Amino acid sequence: MSVLTIVLISFVALEHFYFLVLEMFFWTKPKGIKSFGLKSKAFAEDTKVLAANQGLYNGFLATGLVLSGILNTSSFTLFFLGCVIIAGIYGAYSTKKIKLFYIQSVPALIALTSLMFS
C-alpha cells in the first residue's frame, strides 16, 4: 500500500472512532445533539441505547480498517471500506440527509480508489 492510501484509510478509521465516541458517550450531550441534529434532549435520551449500539458498530468498522492495514491485507481493507461506503449510502437514504454520504462514503470511496490503484 502506498503512503497516500494508508493516510486515506487511516482518516476513514479515525472518522469512525470519532463517530463511536459521539454516539456512545456524547449522544445526549450538546455536542452529540448538535452533531446529529437531534430534535431534543428528550429524544436523545429515548434513543441513547440505539445510538450506543450504532457507535459500537462504527468502532468495529474502524478496528477492521486498522487491523487490515497492520496485517497489510488488501482484501480485508476492501471489505471494510465497502461496508463503510454501504453504511454511508444507507444512512443518507434512510435519514434523507445527503450530508451523511459526503461525510462517510466519499472519504471511503477515495481511499478505495487509492487502494485499487496502488
Summarize pLDDT for 51-110 with one digit per residue, the tens. 999 999 999 999 999 999 899 889 999 999 999 999 999 999 999 999 999 999 999 999
C-alpha cell at 37: 441534529
> For the CA atoms of 42, 89, 83, 55, what is the dihedral angle to 10 degrees?
-10
How many domains, in total, are found in the chain?
A: 1
As a whole number of angstroms, the distance between CA 98 and CA 91 comes to 9
Q: How many CB atoms lie within 10 A of CB 40?
A: 9
pLDDT at residue 50, rounded to an integer: 95
Domain that holds residue 112: 3-117
pLDDT at residue 1, rounded to an integer: 82
pLDDT at residue 13, rounded to an integer: 98
Burial (CB count within 10 angstroms: exposed 0-12, middle 13-18, buried 19+), residue 79: middle
Q: How confident is the model at residue 118 (pLDDT cuts 50, 70, 90)?
A: confident
